[in-house]
Amino acid sequence: MKPPKLIHLLRCSLPGPAVLVALLTASAFGDPPHVRLIEGEGIVALTKATVIDGTASGPRRNIVVIIKNDRILYVGDGVNIRFGNGVRILDLTGRWIVPGFIDAHAHLPNRDGAASFLAQLLAFGTTTIRAAANPRVELRDLVARRVVLGPRLLVAGLLIDGKDSENGGAQAGTEDEVRAIVRRQAEQKVDFIKLYVGLPPNLVNAAIAEAHRHGLRVIGHLGATTWTEAADMGIDSLAHSWYAGLAHSVVPAQYKAEFRDFYIPNNRFDPKLFHKWREVVDPNGPEVARLASLLRERRIEVTPNLVLGEAVTWGDDPAVLERLEPAFAPAETALAWRRGRHPYSADWPVEAVAEAKRAFPQMARIIRVFHERGVLLTVGTDYMNPWMTPGVAFHRELELLLAAGIPPLDVLRMATRNGADALGILSETGTIEEGKRADLVVLTADPLAAIANTRKIEKVFLQGRSFRPAQLLGPH
């Protein structure tokens, strides 16, 4: 005869109404050892889904994800879970759940249009953004207070550039000036510091030291300072591959002087150098290997931003334009795109454009080498640049990373877990684990079978609140 089951009633210490959990402890005579009864208001149970949780694990089938208010309460097979009163159960048979996407390099509208812009990014599954070089601290706080609906924002102040810069932002000519700018931005409660192309090595070094003194991470879109120099100085993140940042940092030593200005934006940039760059740079050569080792050892994040490189390089190709779906861009922007070539490459000679197209796969192979050597790679779009359609560009970036030779599961980790790691918020989001923010995307097709399936979004959960894309998008 079996002894009676013991019923223990517990109340979880989560915010909001208590969750009643009954642990039905059975005997050792073959019954399940624990059955959890979960009930209470504000609970949503996503059942029978395939979960790709953003960790090193592969897909897990027939999984239950339980959300309580803004947090993930449980992730597992659900065999010993029983639901009581107040629980909303969603049967997600034939669906996939992935963590909310993290855009590690974007920009925001300065005034009008921010609300619709952020809502559109959310519709495409983005639940966190690092907004580089935008003095939008007030917008970050409005989103945090739910006055404006959109992804969580981490923001920089004005980009910091050299004294002779024509790129706007805050300009510094001495180490004291750059330290003062960093201090002012720290007082504004920014989340990180953005350094730009015109800063020479001594000013980059001073800015990094001052930012770290204030507990702020530093991201660089660099030119006058190479990636290797910045890595040695302790920079936290590097943005842009291709000729927007990386290209001149991987040429052999004997060609360094010739390629010193091979970055944009830069009035001295010479697109006729694409041919020689392609001849002298070896993705499997010692220069790339040494830089990859340095980036890995120093835990420096890289956001490749291939999608902008593709748009600029193929700026004369209408097919590339249409792939970036101007219908999702503001009407006046879409009209300008259709009138001509991408503005960043519009004055390149035809021969230089052809050479750039031949060289682009070479840069993609460098990114693959970085991945293979353990560099922390993230996904970023550089929104607000021409042709970077809000939402669309993020998913195109995933396709380009896959085309570079990075496996689909790793691409998804770059878009989720790696982004949270790089932003210093991995304890809060980036993976589907108990206790983390309920930032989730429900897909109707397998993203590992085709990375384009990340576009097939049925629902987006932002801190436990559920949205359908159609709710968030305006007419297109």
Report pLDDT digits (tens) over 341-362: 889 999 999 999 999 999 999 9
Q: What is the band of 27 on the pLDDT scale with cuts at 50, 70, 90?
A: very low
Distance CA 229, CA 144 (A): 36
Q: Which tokens sit at 406?
A: 């990075």
Tokens 């597992």, residue? 76
Greater model confidence, 144 or 13: 144
Residues 74-100 have pLDDT tens digits of 999 988 889 999 999 999 999 999 999
Give the whole-angstrom CA distance, residue 249 versus residue 300.
Answer: 15
Handedness of CA 77, 82, 87, 93 (dihedral sign): positive
CB 467 within 8 A of CB 123: yes
Q: What local confidence, expressed as pLDDT, does residue 25 receive?
A: 41
pLDDT of residue 475 exceeding 60: no
CB atoms within 10 A of CB 476: 10
C-alpha distances in angstroms, 69 versus 66, 428, 429? 10, 15, 15
Q: Is the pLDDT of residue 13 over 50?
A: no
In angstroms, the CA 302 to CA 418 distance is: 10
Q: What is the pLDDT of residue 310?
A: 95
Expressed in angstroms, the distance from the first to the final Cα of the chain is 68
Pick the range with the lowest mean pLDDT from 31-45, 51-65, 191-205: 31-45
Secondary structure (3-state) at 450 = coil
How many Å apart are CA 344 and CA 313, to the nearest integer?
9
pLDDT in tens, 392-412: 999 999 999 999 999 999 999
Q: Say if CB 215 and CB 201 are below 8 A apart.
A: no
Q: Do 77 and 62 form a contact (C-beta atoms < 8 A)?
A: yes
Output DSSP code: residue 252.
Answer: -
Strand partners, 65: 46, 75
Phi, psi of 105, deg, nearest 5: -155, 100
Give bridge partners of residue 377 from the DSSP assignment.
Answer: 302
DSSP 248: G
What pTM, to 2 d.p., does this model score?
A: 0.91
Q: What Å distances lie between residue 330 and 71, 120, 390, CA to CA?
A: 34, 11, 9
Query: What is the pLDDT averaged over residues 204-227?
Result: 97
